Structure 1
Amino acid sequence: MKCNDIQEQISLYIDNMLDDNDKEILIKHLEECNQCSAEYDSLIAMINMCRELPMLELPENYEIGLNNKLKTAEAENEEKVQITTIVEKIKQKNWKVYASIAAVFIVFVISVTGLNSVKTNEIDPGSEIAHDNAIIYEQPTASPEESRSDGNMQFSKSSQDSPVVENEIVGRGLEPSSDMMAPVDAVESQVITDGRKVIKNAFLSLDIENYDEKFEKIINLVNASGGYVEHSDTQYSHYVPDKPEESLKIGSITARVPENTFLSIVDQVKGVGIVTNFGMGGQDITMQYRDTVNEVENLKIQEKRLREIMEKADNVKDILEVERELSRVRGDINRMTGDIKRWDDLVGLSTINISLNEIIPKDKKIEPVSDNIWEKAGKGFIRTINEMVSMLEVAFVGFVSILPLLLLMLVIGTPTILFIKKLRRRQ
Structure 2
Amino acid sequence: MLKKAIITLLLLSVVILSMSGCGSSKGHSDFSAEVAVKTESASASPQSRPSESAGDSGGSPQAFNAASSQINSGHKIIQTGEIQIETLEFEKSVSAITKYIASVGGYTESSSISGNRTSARGIGSLKNAFFTFRVPQDKYAGLFDDFNEFGTVVFRQSRGEDITDSYFDTEARLKSLNIQHERLLSLLQKAEKMEDILAIEKELQSTLYQIESHTGTIKKWDSLVSFSTVEVSIREVGEIQPEASGKGLFSRMYFGFTSSLKQLWTLTQGLLIFIVSALPFIIPLSAIAAAVYYFLRKRRKKVAPAPDRKDEE
Quote the residue 2:4 is aligned against.
172
Quickly say closer, same or farther: Cα 1:238–1:338, change in 2 above 3 A. Answer: same
What pairs up with 1:69-84 in 2 under 5 angstroms?
none
Query: In the alignment, which residue of structure 1 is the partner of 2:127?
Result: 249
Computing the radius of gyration over CA atoms, which structure comes out larger, 1 or 2? 1
Give the structure 2 partner of residue 95 of structure 1. Answer: none
Cα deviation per residue 1:229-254 (whole Å; 9 max; x = unaligned)?
0011111066543547x852001111
The 8 Å contact of residues 229 and 255 in structure 1, kept in 2 or not, is answered as yes
Taking the aligned partners of 1:236 and 1:372, their CA distance within structure 2 comes to 19
Q: How far 1:270 moved relative to its partner?
A: 3.2
Q: 2:155 aligns with which of 277, 283, 296?
A: 277
CA distance in 1, matches of 2:6, 2:151: 73
Q: Is the 8 A contact 2:134 2:230 kept in 1?
A: yes
Quick check: 1:170–1:176 contact (8 Å CA) kept in 2?
no
Residue identity matched to 2:107 = Y
* Distance in 2 separating the partners of 1:305 and 1:371: 78
Which residue pairs with 1:349 in the alignment? Answer: 227
**Aligned counterpart, 2:32:** none
The SS at the match of 1:336 is: helix
Structure 1 residues 362 and 296, CA, compared in 2 at 3 Å: closer, same or farther? Answer: closer
In structure 2, distance between residues paired with 1:207 and 1:371 = 19
Following the alignment from structure 1 to structure 2, what is the Cα–Cα distance between the partners of residues 371 and 209?
A: 17
Cα offset, 1:172, TM superposition = 3.3
Please give the root-mean-square deviation of Cα atoms over the aligned residues, in Å: 3.5
Q: Which residue in 2 is equivalent to 1:236? A: 115
**Structure 1 or 2: more helix by fraction:** 1
How do 1:4-403 residues align onto structure 2 when only pairs under 5 Å count? 172-175=4-7, 181=13, 184=17, 185=20, 195-236=74-115, 240-243=119-122, 248-361=126-239, 370=265
- Unaligned runs of 5+ residues in structure 1 are 1-168, 374-427
Q: SS state of the match for residue 5, structure 2? A: coil
Q: 1:369 to 1:344 in 2, by over 3 A?
A: closer
Equivalent-residue separation in structure 2 for 1:170 and 1:353 (angstroms): 65
Which blocks of at least 5 consecutive residues in structure 2 are unaligned? 26-42, 44-71, 242-261, 269-313
Offset from partner CA, 1:140-167 (integer Å, 9 cap, x none): xxxxxxxxxxxxxxxxxxxxxxxxxxxx
Amino acid at match of 1:370: W
Aligned-partner SS, 1:268: helix
* CA–CA separation in structure 2 for the residues paired with 1:310 and 1:221: 56
Identity percentage of aligned residues: 27
Shift of 1:266: 2.2
* Structure with more relative contact order (C-alpha pairs < 8 Å, separation 6 or more): 2
Where 1:173 maps in the other structure, the secondary structure is helix
Cα distance in 1 between the residues matched to 2:267 and 2:7: 96
CA distance in 1, matches of 2:129, 2:97: 12
**1:239/1:248 contact within 8 Å kept:** no
Whole-angstrom CA distance in 2 between matches of 1:194 and 1:333: 28
1:362: Cα distance to partner? 6.4
Give the 3 Å change call, closer, same or farther, for CA 255–204 of structure 1 in structure 2. same
Indicate the SS of the match to 1:271. Answer: helix
CA distance in 1, matches of 2:2, 2:155: 64
Q: Partner letter of residue 174 of structure 1? A: I
Secondary structure, aligned partner of 1:370: helix
Q: CA separation of 1:354/1:372 partners in 2, compared to 1, >3 Å: closer, same or farther? A: closer
Q: 1:196 to 1:229 in 2, by over 3 A?
A: same
In 1, distance between residues paired with 2:191 and 2:264? 94
